[in-house]
A and B are shown apart, each in its own frame.
Chain A
Amino acid sequence: MSAGTLRIALVGNPNCGKTALFNQLTGGRQKVANYAGVTVERKEGRFTAPSGRVLQLLDLPGTYSFDAASPDERITRDVLEGNYPGEAPPDLIVCVADATNLRLHLRFVLEVQRLGRPVVLALNMMDAARRRGIAIDVPELSRRLGLPVVETVAVRREGVRSLVAQVDGEIPVAAPAQPDDAAARADLHAQVRELLAATVRMPRATDARDDALDRWALHPVCGLAILAAVMFLVFQAVYSVGKPMTDAIADGFDWLGAQVAAWMPAGPLQSLVTDGIFGGLGTVLGFLPEILVLFFFILVLEESGYLPRAAFLLDRLMVAVGLTGRSFIPLLSSFACAIPGIMGTRSITDPRDRLATILVAPLMTCSARLPVYALLIGAFIPTRRVLGVFNLQGVVLFALYAAGILGAMAVGFVMKRIRRDRSEHALLMELPSYRLPKPRDVAIGLWERGMVFLKRLTGVILALTVLMWFISTFPSPPAGASGPAIEYSIAGYMGRALQHIFAPLGFNWQISLSLIPAFAARETAVAALATVYAVGGDAGAGGLSHALAANFPLASALSLLVWFAFAPQCMSTLAVIRRETASWRNVAISFGYMFALAYAASFVTYQIAWRLA
């Protein structure tokens, strides 16, 4: 133990509230949600106890036992056993257990106790346990286990006081280490049954409200219909709620750009500010409300406990296409960004299923693609009602998200057909209790998401926009040039060179050029298009949407939408695939198949749409 600093590890079964406890104690903002497998790596934080002692807290991935099956579980085992490189074993282990499900969680507590290290048991979610009428004889449980037991409610500030008081005091004496063999583990179940019989009284094994809701949510027909309806309504809401705010921001930026242009002297700097920064960045910023609306619904679904039900419902379908129900949560995370989605696959036990999920995760529509979709849909798809209720633009957006999902299923199916091992693995996952999302958690999630977007906007997107403006402006046209100045710029030459590759997809040189910065960050395609059209003088008063509608046929717009649905992902995603699979070959497979898929799908879309038009 380092002088004055106590190292505490938070461990327990998945979804018992370790990260919520970690956030409450350290003031951190690590992601929490109501399903297993949110934390897939070791997180560290510090807090100062009332005595002035500095406590170092480790939040470890949840695990059901030390028979580690998946990469995230191995981290927990290695840290606790002192085998994690560069990491000393913790001075104290706080074993967190869900008080509503001690039948499952106490087994791991007994397993941790066998390590022979000081342990404190935190009975978390005690509020939910009391509500369900579960009575726990805490002093008796503590006596029988031979370790301190405290009650906690991790989502409330006052709910962790007893734990803080416990860890701030004397470190409990460790039980002697015991051998970890099969016979000893079989004995654990018997011990749990004894402990429960002596210390816990439960009116019923499950929550009556959960059972009532699950009768509908897990029904093979009604459940799927509910899932489809929920997802459809989310995308409708993105347009119905987000679009008016997006339009307001765009108008505001147009006005601001005009004010700045009037104030600045004419010259290249004025062009950079108005055409590049206000034209490019302003257009991207306008899509923030739509992104936030989408994330609002994702956060609510995450908090509610509905997502594992969706995974359960889709398991049969997922297995049929070469994936697994366990793939659902990482794939859903990929709607935010493929990177956490790919990292989330660490909770998948089977390496084959894990790789399949990693390779298809980038086909899920990440939030960076939303500005591109919203721009093109706004420019080309009329605002019309379908069946008198639905917004046509929302229907198209839903179709694009569905195209990504169907593409992932098709790729998974092909991989299943060509791979050597075709065996299937049963899905075994815990269904958490339903919970009403806490407005504060949702608000913090939205705030974080908004900040991440603004950080990207003022970082890499701003830098790329400045570069795009530069190559669209310089060099100046030669003396006697008759065409628009931009055609003689670096951007003009690069765009025309790229157009040879993308002309069969209906892309003009401006679109072809915008695909380059999109490889760094997808949203930059919007900023690049806005800058190129503004510098070229084609943007006009109506902004980028009008410029696109005037310069671009519908067939090309549909082709571009399809391109972005399947196109090779950004560089960061490729880097994470390399890191998580330790193989450049997988990076090449991922990039290659997505390029081929996007090219083929865009080509077919363009040719069909062009002929129909």
Chain B
Amino acid sequence: MSAGLLTQYLVIALLVLGSALYTFRKLAPQLTTRWQAAASASLDKPWRAPWARRLGRRLQPKSATGNCGDGCGTCGSCGPTPPASARGNAQPLEFRPRSK
């Protein structure tokens, strides 16, 4: 395999990997944030090497993601998810068929 072709495959591998991560992040924002937080916590331990701790801190999720705008973005006005305490008062909407 020529060096040129090898370079092409490397670029493609990076693009495909990046696309897969991006798509996964968009489609499952809360899950990926949890994984990211877990990875960050396991790296940022006192006994880890300084570079690993730096990486752990860098990986720390900046804020909770996963509001309704993720994966769609056409509305642009979803806003943040209300705080859990506010949601706690909400009654679930339920469909009640006549047979019940």
A residues touching B (Cβ–Cβ < 8 Å)? 30-31, 41-43, 71, 78, 84-86, 265, 267-269, 272, 336-337, 339-340, 343, 351, 354-355, 358-359, 366-368, 415, 418-421, 448, 452-453, 455-456, 459-460, 462-464, 466-467, 470, 520-521, 570-573, 575-576, 579-583, 585-586, 589
A267 touches B85 (CB 8 A): no
A603 to B93, CA, bound (A): 33
- 27 residue pairs of the A-B complex, CB under 8 angstroms, read A86-B83, A86-B86, A267-B8, A269-B12, A272-B15, A336-B75, A337-B72, A339-B69, A340-B77, A343-B77, A343-B78, A355-B93, A358-B93, A420-B96, A448-B76, A456-B73, A459-B22, A459-B26, A460-B71, A464-B23, A467-B16, A470-B12, A570-B71, A571-B27, A572-B69, A576-B78, A581-B92
**Interface contact A521-B12, CB-CB below 8 Å:** no
Q: Smallest CB-CB separation from A30: which chain B residue?
A: B77
- Give, as a whole number of angstroms, the nearest-CB distance from A31 to chain B: 6
Are B79 and A85 neighbours in the complex by a CB distance under 8 Å? no
**A470: B residues at CB distance < 8 A:** 12, 16
Whether the Cβ atoms of B74 and A336 lie closer than 8 Å is yes
- On whether the beta carbons of A267 and B93 are closer than 8 Å, the reply is no
Q: How far is the CA of A129 from the CA of B84 in the complex (A)?
A: 43
Judging by beta carbons under 8 Å apart, are B73 and A582 in contact? Answer: no
**A366 touching B74 in the complex, CB below 8 Å, given contacts A267-B8, A466-B16:** yes
Please measure, in the bound complex, the distance between the C-alpha atom of A452 and the C-alpha atom of B72, giving whole angstroms: 9
In the complex, the answer to whether A582 meets B22 with C-beta atoms within 8 Å is no
Contact of A570 among B8, B11, B72 (CB under 8 A): B72
- Given A269-B8, A340-B75, A579 and B81 contact (CB-CB distance below 8 Å): yes
Q: What residue of chain B has the Cβ atom nearest to residue A465's Cβ?
A: B19
Nearest chain B CB to A434's CB is how many angstroms away?
25
Looking at the assembled complex, report how far the CB atom of A348 sits from the nearest CB atom of chain B, in whole angstroms. 11
In contact, A339 and B78 (Cβ under 8 angstroms) = yes
Residues of B within 8 A of A583 (CB): 92-94
Q: Is the interface of A mostly helix, strand, loop or mixed?
A: helix
Collect the chain B residues with CB atoms within 8 Å of residue A589's CB.
95
Closest to A451 in B: B76
For the complex, give the distance between the alpha carbons of A51 and B77 in Å.
31
Task: Answer whether A466 and B74 are a contact pair too, CB < 8 Å, given A267-B4, A354-B93, A579-B68.
Answer: no
Rounded to whole angstroms, the CA-CA distance of A456 and B74 in the bound complex is 8
Interface contact B74-A452, CB-CB below 8 Å: yes
By beta carbon, the residue of chain B nearest A415 is B95
Interface residues in B42-78 by Cβ distance below 8 A to A read 68-78
Cβ–Cβ contact B71 & A572, under 8 A: yes
CA distance A371 to B28 in the complex (A): 25
